[in-house]
Chains A and B, each alone.
Chain A
């Protein structure tokens, strides 16, 4: 579908285990810094795996200006803090008219799981009638986006898209569509999640948790490390951004969604390849235009081979470099593709490839010609970056970012759209 309005990224904000704020985060990525440490947010002594990518010493009050942290859960804290940082980075002052249509769309996997954990303990300790109403109020997942809009005094559409570990890409895509369709000029979009006991245990029960640090694409990879944080982008209509002289990191060229409709936890390469093609079509690009793929790259044996199989199906032998920032952050779940989006924007702006850390030997099963950017960050011209997000349920979401150029934007309708 043709369109005339273009969407650009003018602000980046994040709270992560390797740095808070886009500059510190980027420095951490370039340095291959690890945010993986022993778990402190719950007692993990009875768990075989005791590492996580926690945001240590996070104090939301040091970042937010409006919300009272006591009224919100930890995941909302991450979202609101990241959003505040993103708006500050964008240098945007929202007037009354703009705030009327600006909102926040935030993805998550677990929502306010730490508050659910607190509730469970209260239930066990004292029975159902002893539950704290204050804790109950923190649990609805919609609060995560609500915290952003309260923090920034926004009146526009505010919603959480909890499509698990591809959720931030869903949010970014939907916020962009709002701008393209003329509903908004500015939107906040991204993802947030928190490390918690039952998610950690759940992944462990599936055999999906690493026996040490995450090693995406390594032949000895053994799984994920659960992680947390918030990653939010300011998306803005191009003309709106140019009129106020905004710094433009990149253009959001488009995105694609698909569902495997196959298995609740096992990804499907053909379906992921289909999602990549949908993203390319929506963005008006060819596979050969892609300079860098920010992988979902969880580090589980299954994910990584499936992901490379899928990208092989699309790119063939002309495979662009692909790396996993989860090697440094761990798996931040619903925030993961939000962090990927930030990494893509910075890769375009500063001409570098984010590295895959912790690599010893690239899995030979991937075949020849796969560059997973081992050995540290690398200088490279990145004009188009492809950002992967895949999730339980076979929910695939891919965003495409490009350096701002003079070409016309092109979006395409989904294939198989007949009735």
Chain B
């Protein structure tokens, strides 16, 4: 039995983004966002390219996918046929993460019994829901419904498939909070560990590129057309700090997810300022200096509210959203991964975000010597 302390560490991370696979690819993209370029990064829609090509026709702006992504590069082909792209991305990220953790001498096989998942998402796989509904409407009933794909429309499908593939029997959870979903996942996962419901949590977020999310995002006009509509998945291994574990990539200093009931520019700013205040107080108490800020709303109508809440910080800022594209439920996870990729050992990284639902988030990671 692990002695659960208040302090939690991120012991490893996996990331698939439009920049490619891994923290190094993400770091390169963040340092030179121009390489995001005007062209889509890689195959825009993966295995569904032919079927989807017509449905992107006329779409304003650009889309980008995880380059050359094939789930069979990560897991055996058997059992992957009916998985949707959201699940495939999440499964790939979890496979990379589990593989890394399993190589550690202090990670026992039994530990997977108490390992859980907290996966952030906006709405699950919107493509799966729309496609199923199209089949029903066109089939005038259920004749065209494939029962094997119905579970894909439930928002917890990705997390559940990860548990099944990797035999993770701890709390299996999915958190929906728009673009700050991954911060909710981090907060939730940390709470589960601290309250004794899990020994380890894999926390993060996922978003698939689909014509439905792309068109929906463009039609809302909340995101500047210069921002690529992207996708990706990132997962972090969150564990109690123990003496026998290897040095952490980072420790979790603060994670605050709050709400702005007055969903105006001023209301969002006030709520985010409140979250930042709390995160900053935790950082100061822990002796962590913020030397890097990763905002989450660049290129959106919420940008001014976030700037107002961050005006006190005169430190380097890196725009994650523009670098990896508008990626919904994965955005917060990309910010967390970016903190690990860019943060200097011994310093603090502040990540913030606002979702137009009213949710706001501020988190601080203290970067470890191993990063």
Chain A residues in the interface with B (C-beta under 8 A): 1, 46-48, 100, 103, 108-113, 116-117, 119-121, 123-124, 128-129, 131-133, 136-137, 139-143, 145-146, 149-150, 152-164, 170, 173-174, 177-178, 180-181, 197-199, 201-207, 256-265, 271, 274, 278, 282, 391-395, 411-419
Does A414 contact B196, Cβ atoms closer than 8 Å?
yes
A395 CB → nearest B CB, Å:
5
Does B122 contact A164, Cβ atoms closer than 8 Å?
no
Interface size for B (C-beta < 8 A) is: 95
Q: Does B184 contact A (CB under 8 A)?
A: yes
**Cβ–Cβ < 8 Å partners of A111 in chain B:** 123-124, 155, 176
Name A196's closest neighbour in chain B (CB-CB).
B133
Does A163 contact B164, Cβ atoms closer than 8 Å?
no
Does A392 contact B160, Cβ atoms closer than 8 Å?
yes
Does B359 contact A259, Cβ atoms closer than 8 Å?
no
Q: Does B322 contact A (CB under 8 A)?
A: no
Q: A133-B219, A154-B261, A419-B200 are in contact. List 6 more A-B contacts (CB 8 A).
A: A110-B155, A158-B259, A158-B358, A161-B176, A201-B145, A393-B157
Does B151 contact A419, Cβ atoms closer than 8 Å?
no
- Residue of A1, A117, A159, A180 with most partner-chain B CB within 10 A: A159
**Cβ–Cβ < 8 Å partners of A108 in chain B:** 155, 176
Q: How far is the CA of A198 from the CA of B140 in the complex (A)?
A: 11
Does A162 contact B195, Cβ atoms closer than 8 Å?
no
Does A155 contact B196, Cβ atoms closer than 8 Å?
no
Does B130 contact A141, Cβ atoms closer than 8 Å?
no
Chain B residues in the interface with A (C-beta under 8 A): 1-2, 4, 55, 58-59, 106-108, 110-111, 113-114, 116, 121-124, 126, 129-130, 132-134, 136-138, 140-142, 145-147, 150-151, 153-157, 159-161, 163-164, 166-178, 181, 184, 187-188, 191-192, 194-200, 211-212, 215-216, 219-221, 239, 242, 244-245, 257-261, 263, 271, 274, 355-359
Q: How far is the CA of A205 from the CA of B357 in the complex (A)?
A: 34
Known: A111-B155, A161-B175, A257-B116. A124 touches B137 (CB 8 A): yes
Contact of A160 among B137, B175, B191 (CB under 8 A): B175
B144 CB → nearest A CB, Å:
9
Of all A-B residue pairs in the complex, the 10 with the closest CB atoms, nearest first, are A393-B160, A46-B141, A413-B196, A162-B155, A202-B150, A259-B172, A141-B176, A257-B171, A417-B199, A158-B259
Does B169 contact A259, Cβ atoms closer than 8 Å?
yes
Name B110's closest neighbour in chain A (CB-CB).
A416
Does A163 contact B257, Cβ atoms closer than 8 Å?
no
Does B199 contact A418, Cβ atoms closer than 8 Å?
yes
**Cβ–Cβ < 8 Å partners of A265 in chain B:** 151
Q: How far is the CA of A258 from the CA of B192 in the complex (A)?
A: 12
Known: A393-B160, A419-B242. A120 touches B133 (CB 8 A): yes
Does B133 contact A394, Cβ atoms closer than 8 Å?
no
Does A264 contact B164, Cβ atoms closer than 8 Å?
yes
Question: Can you report 14 residue pairs joining A to B where beta carbons are below 8 Å apart?
Answer: A48-B142, A108-B155, A121-B137, A140-B123, A142-B177, A142-B178, A155-B259, A161-B176, A163-B173, A181-B191, A202-B132, A261-B164, A264-B157, A393-B163
Q: How far is the CA of A92 from the CA of B154 in the complex (A)?
A: 35
Q: How far is the CA of A204 from the CA of B145 in the complex (A)?
A: 9
Does A142 contact B357, Cβ atoms closer than 8 Å?
yes
Q: How far is the CA of A278 from the CA of B245 in the complex (A)?
A: 26
**Cβ–Cβ < 8 Å partners of A256 in chain B:** 197
Does B259 contact A414, Cβ atoms closer than 8 Å?
no
Name A199's closest neighbour in chain B (CB-CB).
B153
A121 CB → nearest B CB, Å:
7
Name B211's closest neighbour in chain A (CB-CB).
A128
**Cβ–Cβ < 8 Å partners of A257 in chain B:** 116, 170-173, 192, 197
**Cβ–Cβ < 8 Å partners of B154 in chain A:** 109-110, 162, 164, 391-393
Does B261 contact A418, Cβ atoms closer than 8 Å?
no
Does B261 contact A140, Cβ atoms closer than 8 Å?
no
Does B196 contact A282, Cβ atoms closer than 8 Å?
yes
A140 CB → nearest B CB, Å:
5
Does B157 contact A392, Cβ atoms closer than 8 Å?
yes
Q: How far is the CA of A260 from the CA of B192 in the complex (A)?
A: 18
**Cβ–Cβ < 8 Å partners of A201 in chain B:** 132, 136, 141-142, 145
Name B256's closest neighbour in chain A (CB-CB).
A157
Does A150 contact B261, Cβ atoms closer than 8 Å?
yes
Does A160 contact B164, Cβ atoms closer than 8 Å?
no
Q: How far is the CA of A238 from the CA of B123 in the complex (A)?
A: 35
Contact of B151 among A116, A117, A155, A264 (CB under 8 A): A264
